[in-house]
Structure 1
Amino acid sequence: MSHSPMDEEKGLQSPAIAVQTPQDSTKNDHEKIDSSAGGGIFSRLNARLISWKIFETRGIERVPVEERHDIRAADYMQMTLLWFSTNITANNMAVGMLGPISYGLGFVDSALCATFGALLGAAGVAYMGTFGPASGNRTMVVARYFMGYYPSKIACLLNIIIMLGYGMIDCLVGGQVLSAVSGGSMPIVVGIIIIAIITWVVVLFGMRIFHIYERWAWLPQFIAIFVLVGSAGPKFNTSITSAGSPETITGNRLSFFSLCLSASVAWAPAGADFFVYFPPTTSKWKTFLMTFLGVGLALTFANVMGVGLASGTITQPEWETAYDTSSGALILAGYNGLGGFGKFMGVLVALGLIANNIPGTYSASLGFQIMGRHLAKLPRWFWSCVGVVIYTACALGGRNHLYDIFDNFLSLMGYWVTIYLTIAVEEHVLFRRVRGFDWDAWADPSKLPIGIAALLAFLIGWAGAIVSMDQIWYIGPIAKMVGAYGTDLGIWVGCSWAMLVYPPLRWLELKKFDR
């Protein structure tokens, strides 16, 4: 992207990669980020880091309008490329594999569920993304306007769990692929650590390096997956059909659709984080459309590739053996016959997971700061380090249980995200059309909703999800009513219960407290 002479004189950067300099940090009376927290060595290290021009010093503070940067046509394309790079990755291929292998669905059923689940979830991410330029606030700060200052911390904590959980999955799948490329001579543990270290380096510096990396990370992934289409595509078994009674097939379709929806919509709590340096004049419909295309197209492509690879295990014994080793080994098996070039493509696929890991780690680091004023005194880069250490340790400990992590973790996270989105949409459409948003009050609890209505609706929605979930360790009474073995209805029942109770509860809250 080019800069105008005036931009260069002012030291401004392209809005897609803009960062805050140490001098332009706006301190709020309610929540201040103490850059010298910790004293001693920590203080000197922090001072050294923020002295670098490429280092982002801003944490959760709102970006004032005067510090944002003009929006250009190329920046809308950057929105798409960012999300496309993030999601055209091996972990999303692994999600698609679960349709034929775990749910017994045919190729067509799996592909349709994966596609429409990914697109519906992408709409939720795109909706939340529009609040970045409009507010200048991070996504979980925006949540305060929907759920209240203190209840929103529940959503923030769950978002930290999501993002660190995805970091664990990314490291696991990446480690599996690298191990498979080496023929097993490289332990999965080493592959996990490689993915984690590269992610940490990029996240440490913040938004500028992040946007530059994501602008180009999609290209090698795109090439590697197209090579995989040519190499493995002829071995896909597109004729397989779904197994079981009509009731069982219907239940498995809904369960797999919900899983793919969960994998996609899980990005919604981070949707606005990467657009806060754009001005309020940024087109909402363009932001929505470009984000939707980036998330939806990438996930659809990756998920359907996973479905195809899984279908091939039915007729390709070597693929079945590879999947018994790991999902990463199955991806590499798709390159069989290409020799060293196939292994090189496998390395690209493994390293592509870094693009998926970076935004999640970045968002989690902001979440730690949002959880409390004392935690906010520690800078964003410190929490980035903490996040990387946590999910690396979890990946090392859970490296032999990837399927269970996918099947349980993604579904559980999808429950709360969709309930939160239901509350956000209703608050926005029904109550904020007239009242509007005071984005400057982001850290003032007295000017934000109390959150009683949102908290009650959230908990009622969760209760609906619990009695309707179908997990390995628990099947709710409502879930048992559908299909021979139960069906995961947690998202749908949870959202519907929250949708019904929130409007009257919020009306009563406004009548009593007027905020």
Structure 2
Amino acid sequence: MSTTDDKAIEPRKTSVSSPENSPSICRGDLEDATAIPDDFITNKWQRKANELIGLAGAEARGIERVDEIFRTGRLALKDYFSLTIVWFSVNLTSNILTIGVLGPVTFGLGSLDSMLCCFFGTILGSAATCYMATYGPMSGNRSLVGARFSMGWWPTKLCVILAVVVMLGYGLVDAVTTGLIFSAVSGGSLSTIVGIVIFGIMVWVISSFGIKYVKHYEEYAYVPQVCALFILVGVAAPYMDVHAKSALTGKTLIGARISYLFTCASGPLGWAPFIADSLVYHPPSTSRVGVFFSTFIGFVASKTFVEFIGIGLGSGLATNPTWAAGFNATGVGGLLVAAYDPLGSLGHLCAVILGLGIAANMVPGNYSAAFCAQLIATKAEKIPRIVWNTLATIIYTVIAIAGRNKLLPIFSNFLPLIGYWTIIWIVITLQEEWLFRRRRNPTKPYDWAAWDNRNLLPMGIAAFTTFLIGWAAAILCMSQAYYIGPIAALVPADMGLPVAAAWSAIVYPPLRYMELKKFGR
């Protein structure tokens, strides 16, 4: 067996195991925490990545677990508030308007129906995702590194590949929305491609240098967005039809409500594979309840605010020819510019602010893209995080340029697919913790230091089988423009997400019990 494979199997011990045997290490020293540990450095590029810490305060650490001695001190109330602000900022961006517009435009729902489905769908998806955030401080492992403790070594790679698809999909949507806004503001004289490239550069600069830059940016990015959105509400409110009724009736209406509710749930679910990545530097003493509610409030407050505005804009398309023309020309970008048009130059400035602000939605995803890449193969761990961040930016920028004219269909079809796989993984993770690990060892359910030792991780047979069954159930119950499952045709509604969750909850416990009985891990 090769040396590389041996390293993947044998546990690697950090060169510093306690503060006593390394007095140079200070608890909470972010510079030491964000460096690649000496035992993981195998090439000059990793050494150069560590040198960037001293030059620019950049983060070099990749998927290596953050040991407790490197974590910050106990969190104060202001730190939990900061978590709320960060995730409020991430989701307070104009691309999220598209989710709101889908209610009246794609699903044919009235304003009240759309808002109720949006609100409860957002709560459902946010609750599941924000629970996954609590594993960051508890484990010191990135989100999908932690997936190894429920999915096993090899099945986790499937989750990683799907997470990469999620990241690239959101990169496409975010970049194209920015490009369309820029094009609409310029009256078509500025190519959409220019806006896409500007977006990619902004995201790369902020995310590539690491967590310190990401957090500082997100803590303030929401301010201009809030101002621009309130101006949008003020100027567009008279044309929003808040009394618009659903165009559907009977079983078709019920199906549209169900489909839209779970589409809205899929939005926050898309963050589940990444949300813990920025929390690994917090100590294990961090309150799980505090992390959950801090992130949950940020998600729900921002997403419902923006999506409700999107619902209002979508409801006005039927009665406002100017809005309809802008939307038909360049999607949400054209709709925004048309709504701001009475304000002249100020309106154009607000549209540009919202266009640039979309970067806040992509920065955490691009930051996490590197960890996904490093998890695909053992050799990929040796390539510094900043290289993977750069490559990810290039890939989704090129995809966005190629697919810039098909944004709304891509977005409406893409969102539910995110929810299918993430909800299966979340259900497996919850059951693994509460039905198996905490029942066997309540005080120490996980040995988080075993993150890179496949002999101490689950076999993954139960999780992989559950994953396949959950996906099969979702396919039978999915309802998309390109495919309608036989069960979904009976409703008609997209029931893929709840059915996938239900089947996963039923199938995993007996399979995991048999796996433990057979293999003991």
Partner of 2:501: 495
2:62 aligns with 59
Residue 244 of structure 1: CA displacement?
A: 2.1
Alignment correspondent of 1:119 = 123
Q: Which residue of 2 aligns with 1:228?
A: 232
Q: CA RMSD in A?
A: 1.8
Structure 2 residue 372 is matched with structure 1 residue 367: yes
| Counterpart Cα distance in 1 of 2:514 and 2:230 | 55
Letter in 1 for 2:320: Q
- Counterpart of 2:248 (choices 244, 248, 255) is 244
Partner of 1:155: 159
Aligned to 1:150, the other structure's residue is in SS state helix
Query: In structure 1, how many angstroms separate the alpha carbons of the residues matched to 2:217 and 2:480?
Result: 37
Aligned partners of 1:35, 1:263: CA distance in 2, in Å?
A: 39
Indicate whether 1:349 and 2:354 are aligned. Answer: yes
Question: In the TM superposition, what is the alpha-carbon distance from 1:305 to its structure 2 partner?
Answer: 0.8
Are 2:464 and 1:459 aligned?
no
Between the aligned partners of 2:31 and 2:358, the Cα distance in structure 1 is 24
Distance apart, 1:11 and its partner CA? 9.4
Instruction: Work out which of the residue numbers 431, 437, 441 in structure 1 matches 2:446.
Output: 437
Cα deviation digits, residues 57-91 of structure 1 (max 9, x gap): 10000000000011222211111111111101111
User: Counterpart of 1:145?
Assistant: 149
Instruction: Please tell me whether the aligned partners of residues 33 and 281 of structure 2 are also in contact (alpha carbons under 8 angstroms).
Output: no
State whether residues 146 and 449 of structure 1, in contact with CA within 8 Å, keep that contact through their aligned partners in structure 2. Answer: yes
Q: Corresponding residue for 2:18?
A: none
The one-letter code of the counterpart of 1:342 is G
Q: Distance in 1 between matches of 2:90 and 2:169?
A: 15
Match of 1:339 among 341, 344, 347: 344
Name the counterpart of 2:11.
none
Equivalent of residue 508 in structure 1, options 488, 511, 514: 514
Counterpart for residue 293 of structure 1: 297
Alignment of 1:278-427 (within 5 A): 278-325=282-329, 326-427=331-432
> After superposition, where does 1:4-43 map in structure 2 within 5 Å?
18-20=30-32, 25-26=36-37, 32-37=40-45
**1:178-212 per-position Cα deviation (integer Å, ceiling 9, x unaligned):** 11111211110100000000110111101111110
- When residues 250 and 459 of structure 1 are mapped into structure 2, their CA distance, relative to the original with a 3 A threshold, is same
- What amino acid maps onto 1:98 in structure 2? L
Q: Which amino acid in structure 1 is aligned with residue 60 of structure 2?
A: T
Pick from 472, 476, 480: which aligns with 2:485?
476
Give the superposition deviation at 1:498: 1.1
Structure-1 residue corresponding to 2:99: 95
- When normalised by structure 1's length, the TM-score is 0.93
Equivalent pairs, count: 493
Q: How many angstroms does 1:107 deviate by? A: 0.4
> Which AA in structure 1 matches 2:514?
L
Q: Which residue of 2 aligns with 1:270?
A: 274
Report the CA distance between 1:221 and its aligned residue.
0.7
Which residue identity lines up with residue 243 of structure 2 in the other structure? S
Partner of 1:5: none
SS of the aligned residue for 2:342 comes to coil
Structure 1 unaligned regions, length at least 5? 1-8, 38-42
Q: Which string of whole-angstrom CA distances, capped at 9 and with x for unpartnered residues, describes residues 149-191 of structure 1?
A: 1111111111111012111111010111111111211110100
Secondary structure of the 1:477 match is coil
* Cα distance change of structure 1 residues 331 and 33 upon mapping to structure 2, 3 Å threshold: farther
Cα distance in 2 for residues equivalent to 1:480 and 1:329: 34
Asked whether the equivalents of residues 33 and 379 of structure 1 are also in contact (C-alpha less than 8 Å), the reply is: no
Q: CA contact under 8 A between 2:144 and 2:156: conserved in structure 1?
A: yes
CA distance in 1, matches of 2:225, 2:346: 14
Please state whether the residue corresponding to 1:390 is helix, strand or coil: helix
Aligned-partner Cα distance in 1 for 2:204–2:305: 27
> Partner amino acid for 1:58?
R
Check conservation: 1:84, 1:298, Cα contact below 8 A: yes
Instruction: Provide Cα deviations, 1:406-427, integer angstroms capped at 9, x if missing partner.
Output: 1111111110011111111111
Looking at structure 2, the residues matched to 246 and 95 of structure 1 have their Cα atoms a distance apart, in angstroms, of 24
Q: Deviations over 1:321-370 (max 9, x none)?
A: 11101111112222121111111111110011000010011111110001
1:130-149 per-position Cα deviation (integer Å, ceiling 9, x unaligned): 01100000000010011111
Q: Distance in 1 between matches of 2:56 and 2:48?
A: 15
Matched to 1:26, the amino acid is: P
Letter in 2 for 1:464: A
Amino acid at match of 2:452: A
Asked whether the equivalents of residues 31 and 53 of structure 2 are also in contact (C-alpha less than 8 Å), the reply is no
Equivalent residue for 1:3?
none
Match for 2:87 among 79, 83, 87?
Answer: 83
Cα distance, 1:47 vs structure 2: 6.4
1:19–1:207 contact (8 Å) kept in structure 2: no
- Map 1:173-184 → 2, pairs under 5 A: 173-184=177-188
CA contact (8 A) 1:20 1:58 kept: no
Q: Give yes or no for the alignment of 1:171 onto 2:182.
A: no
Contact 1:177/1:329 (<8 A) preserved:
yes
Aligned partners of 1:407, 1:347: CA distance in 2, in Å? 24
Instruction: Give the Cα–Cα distance (whole angstroms) in 2 for the partners of residues 335 and 69 of structure 1.
Output: 44
Alignment partners' CA distance in 2, 1:205 and 1:498: 38
Identity of aligned residues (%): 43
Q: Secondary structure of 1:211's match?
A: helix
The answer on whether the counterparts of 1:237 and 1:314 sit within 8 Å (CA) in structure 2 is no
Q: CA deviation at 1:275?
A: 0.4
Task: Name the structure 1 match of 2:114.
Answer: 110
Query: Aligned partners of 2:197, 2:32: CA distance in 1, in Å?
Result: 30
Provide the C-alpha distance between the structure 2 equivalents of 1:252 and 1:12, rounded to a whole number of angstroms.
56
Equivalence for 1:40: none
Aligned partners of 1:144 and 1:152 also within 8 Å: yes
Q: Structure 2: how far apart are the matches of 1:349 and 1:11?
A: 42
Distance across 2 between alignment mates of 1:214 and 1:501: 40
SS in 1 for 2:341: coil
